[in-house]
Amino acid sequence: DVKVTQSSRYLVKRTGEKVFLECVQDMDHENMFWYRQDPGLGLRLIYFSYDVKMKEKGDIPEGYSVSREKKERFSLILESASTNQTSMYLCASSSLGGLAGVNEQYFGPGTRLTVT
């Protein structure tokens, strides 16, 4: 059974703290993604990676950075957490190619981060 796991389901941090959100997948997928989900805004892409040590900015990268040192692990870093980063964070992975148009994304359960 395919699996994407995230380090925490719930996290509470203080403003200004450095926050690490970890994501691990066991499917040997090349692509990994970080999204945030907010009411009325749907899912918005923060960063993604298509290979180890490679990263690309998504639609809302400001205030975030990422790290991918190993193929199975993709970390999202909030350098200095702010209250407007309170959100649900979802990690996903997908294979690089294969059948045209497939690239099904597998999502983790999410981390609900509260910054106070």
Contact 16, 81 (CB under 8 A): yes
Count interface residues toward another protein (CB under 8 A).
30
Of 8, 58, 60, 67, the one binding another protein (CB under 8 A) is: 58
E strands, 26-72, are 31-38, 42-49, 56-57, 64-70
CA nearest neighbour of 17 among 76, 78, 87, 74:
78
User: Judged by CB under 8 A, which stretch of 13-21, 62-70, 76-84, 96-104 contacts another protein?
Assistant: 96-104
In whole angstroms, how close is the CB of 110 to another protein at the nearest point? Answer: 6
CA nearest neighbour of 66 among 20, 28, 17:
20
Q: For another protein, what does the binding mask look like between residues 12 and 51, x meaning CB under 8 A?
A: -------------------x-x-x----xxxxxx--x-x-
Binding region for another protein (CB under 8 A): 4, 31, 33, 35, 40-45, 48, 50, 56, 58-59, 90, 92, 94, 96, 100-110
